[in-house]
Amino acid sequence: MIVCSCNVLSDAQVRETCARSDAPRSPGQVYQCLGCSPQCGRCARTIRGIMDEALSKACDTCPAACPAAGPVAAD
Ligand code: FES
């Protein structure tokens, strides 16, 4: 599905970009990684949502001691 009509970017392209080892940290970096730049900006919120979803799935695979998962419970 096309999520950015200005740059003709699909949700699959955004997800693939988020799966890279040097994953983008902002929608602006997603555009940059995909070789374009924001035009009207209407898609930024959608791209952010795809990024959040992709990163939350990645956190499901982290070890329990991952610092990004928050404080580690004391045993
Ligand atoms: S729809 Fe993505 S910049 Fe316009």
Give 71's pLDDT tier (boundaries 50, 70, 90): low
pLDDT at 12: 96
Q: Could you tell me the pTM of the whole model?
A: 0.77
What residues line ligand 1, using a CB cutoff of 6 Å?
A: 4-7, 38-43
Backbone φ/ψ region at 35: left (φ over 0), alpha (ψ -120 to 50), beta: left
pLDDT digits (tens, 9 = 90+) for 3-60: 999 999 999 999 999 998 888 999 999 999 999 999 999 999 999 999 999 888 766 6
CA of 47 to the centre of ligand 1 (A): 10
pLDDT at position 55 is: 81
CA 56 / ligand 1 centre spacing (Å): 24
In this structure, which CATH number among 1.10.10, 3.40.720, 1.10.3470, 3.10.20 belongs to the domain 2-55? 1.10.10
Angle between the N-to-C axes of helices 44-60 and 11-18, in degrees from 0 to 180, rounded to the nearest 10: 50
Per domain, the residue ranges of the chain are: 2-55
pLDDT band at 73 (very low <50, low <70, confident <90, very high): very low
Residue whose Cα lies nearest atom 2 of ligand 1: it is: 4
